[in-house]
């Protein structure tokens, strides 16, 4: 079932890319494996998934350690608490959810002291929802150079989570806004912010149409949690 689901998701991604006139290699799939066991993750890997997304440090580490020799790429996609930074090692190829400067400084200090650089995305609260984590666009505009100057991290792009809504078209304005902010920041600062992590099971096709380079899909691959 996982293999069939993954094949369907990849086909839908390909169709959305083609519809958008984009390069077939411009979008990467993050298979969201939170709450999934080793057997299910291995099944997805055998079926062709490469990047797996986890949202809790304590849940991710046992999986990473058991599967580290099997060609997996791990991304951290959940809210990262400052008191968990001390547990970070070279486990995640990308952290999608750096949502404030203090957190970024903590990550940078740890990584710099250990002589490595962590790739990160900055999470932006485009919708302005009080319940959502993320930087306000106005704060990011003021602070983006401060993020970029930290020696232990490298900012690769931006991430956002739109409001929950059954209609995927409701997400479009939020994805479009994040892309516009990315383009604005690149022009103003000269930074390369190539990654846009937008889109999940319900709206990843709309996200691809709006410029996603990373889509985070769990339920459509692994089934309901």
**pLDDT 10s digits, 13-69:** 999 999 999 999 999 999 999 999 999 999 999 999 999 999 999 999 999 999 977
Phi-psi region of 83 (alpha: psi -120 to 50; beta: other; left: phi over 0): alpha
Q: Within its chain, how far is the Cα of 79 from the centroid? A: 11
Q: Which DSSP symbol is given to 108?
A: H
Give the residue carrying structure tokens 């002291």. 113
Over 90: is that where the pLDDT of 210 sits?
yes
Task: Write out the DSSP string of 9-71.
Answer: HHHHHHHHHHHHT--TTS-EEEEE-TT--HHHHHHHHHTT--EEEES-HHHHHHHHHHHTTTT
Please state the domain extents for the chain.
Answer: 2-222
Band (225; pLDDT cuts 50, 70, 90): confident
**pLDDT 10s digits, 160-198:** 999 999 999 999 999 999 999 999 999 999 999 999 999
pLDDT recorded at residue 131: 87
Structure tokens, 160: 């956002």
Rounded average pLDDT over 123-132: 94
Q: Global pTM?
A: 0.97
Rounded average pLDDT over 106-118: 98
pLDDT recorded at residue 185: 95
Q: What's the CATH fold of domain 2-222?
A: TIM Barrel (3.20.20)
Helix axis angle, 38-46 relative to 2-20, nearest 10°? 50
């Amino acid at each position: 079932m996982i293999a069939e689901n993954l094949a369907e998701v990849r086909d839908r991604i390909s169709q959305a890319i083609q519809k958008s006139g984009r390069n077939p290699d411009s979008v990467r799939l993050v298979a969201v494996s939170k709450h999934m066991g080793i057997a299910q993750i291995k099944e997805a890997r055998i079926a062709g998934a490469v990047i797996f997304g986890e949202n809790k440090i304590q849940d991710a580490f046992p999986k990473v350690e058991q599967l580290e020799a099997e060609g997996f790429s791990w991304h951290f996609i959940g809210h990262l608490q400052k008191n968990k930074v001390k547990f970070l090692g070279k486990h995640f190829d990308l952290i999608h959810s750096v949502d404030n400067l203090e957190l970024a400084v903590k990550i940078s200090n740890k990584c710099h002291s250990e002589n490595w650089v962590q790739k990160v995305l900055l999470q932006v609260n485009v919708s302005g929802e009080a319940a959502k984590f993320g930087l306000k666009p106005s704060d990011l505009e003021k602070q983006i150079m401060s993020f970029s100057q930290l020696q232990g991290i490298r900012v690769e792009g931006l991430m956002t989570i739109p409001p929950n809504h059954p209609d995927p078209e409701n997400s479009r304005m939020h994805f479009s806004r994040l892309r516009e902010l990315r383009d604005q920041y690149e022009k103003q600062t000269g930074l390369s912010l190539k990654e846009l992590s937008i889109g999940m099971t319900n709206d990843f096709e709309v996200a691809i149409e709006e410029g996603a380079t990373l889509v985070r899909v769990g339920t459509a691959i692994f089934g309901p949690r």
